[in-house]
Amino acid sequence: MLIRSTWTLTVDAFTTLPKTYQLALSKQLHAQAGLDFGNESIPSVTYSGISGRDSSVEDFITFSPDEFYTLSLNGLNEPASKAIEALDLSEHLEFLGARFKVINREDEATSYEALYHRFVADEPEPVRRLAFSFSTPTAFSQHRTYLPLPVPTLMFHSWLERWNHFSPVYLGADELIEYFGGSIALSRHRIQTRSYSLDRGFVTGFTGTVNLKVLRHSDPLLANVAELLANYAQFVGTGIKTRLGMGETVLNTERNLSNLKQDL
């Protein structure tokens, strides 16, 4: 089972938090849901932080009573998904002295098997263009540094590693990434770098839009596997520190996952 739960939030007055609030909020949500935090080699939960129009001054971020904000939690296996599904934030979310009003919740759920059948086993016509939006800073680990660039092979490696870890349907490993490297190209992007504050410093990542092109010579089956992983990215996120709010990923293609509940 996979789930993406999204809460819509508001504040009654201007509310200021330190930019490092992400760790405290993520830990609190994990605790409320009864989920492990920090002991998994690959986290079974990803998290968006609080997204929406805010303002930043030095080390602080301010949320406005005139805006709507969203908060998402994604479960990548059955226990995590069930725990998120059962999580009740009640009418208010309070942490670090801030108080957000919860006005709506939406759940999107599916399974690894359903995704595989939809995009691969049913042999749909391959999609040749994949358009992504990265709404929170995204970066990749490179030895002792972080790379804030949308390199296609690094994107697919990130998704494939998590898919193979959690899914009962194994897709392949290095040979698949090597194939994608010769068959999928970055066609255009409009990105900028942003610093993401953590308790011990910050990480530089990119946000914005990225378009990939699946080249015409590519095998139709493997093109469908690429689309499968691109859709999976909406649950798993991209790159590093997705448990702390980095790497939130949205995909726009000719096909989408607008009616995921029908797959259960």
Confidence label for 257 from pLDDT (cuts 50, 70 and 90): very low
Separation of alpha carbons 86 and 81, rounded Å: 9
Nearby residues of 167 by Cβ (< 8 Å), 6 or more positions away: 112, 116
Query: Using one digit for the tens of pLDDT, what is the confidence trace for 166-177?
Result: 999 999 999 999
β-bridge mates for residue 94, sequence order: 99
- CATH, range 126-263: 3.30.70.1900
Q: Which amino acid is at 38?
A: G
Q: Are 10 and 103 in contact (CB under 8 A)?
A: yes
Closest CA to 231 of 252, 247, 201: 252
The architecture (CATH level 2) of 2-110 comes to: 2-Layer Sandwich (3.30)
Query: Using one digit for the tens of pLDDT, what is the confidence trace for 64-103?
Result: 999 999 999 999 999 999 999 999 999 999 999 999 999 9
Confidence label for 104 from pLDDT (cuts 50, 70 and 90): very high
Structure tokens at 6: 């999204």
The domain spans of the chain are 2-110, 126-263
Q: What is the DSSP string of 94-142?
A: EETTEEEEEEEEEEEEE-HHHHHIIIIIT-PPPP-EEEEEEEEEE-EEE
CA dihedral (40, 170, 247, 146) positive or negative = positive
Q: Does the pLDDT value for residue 261 go beyond 60?
A: no
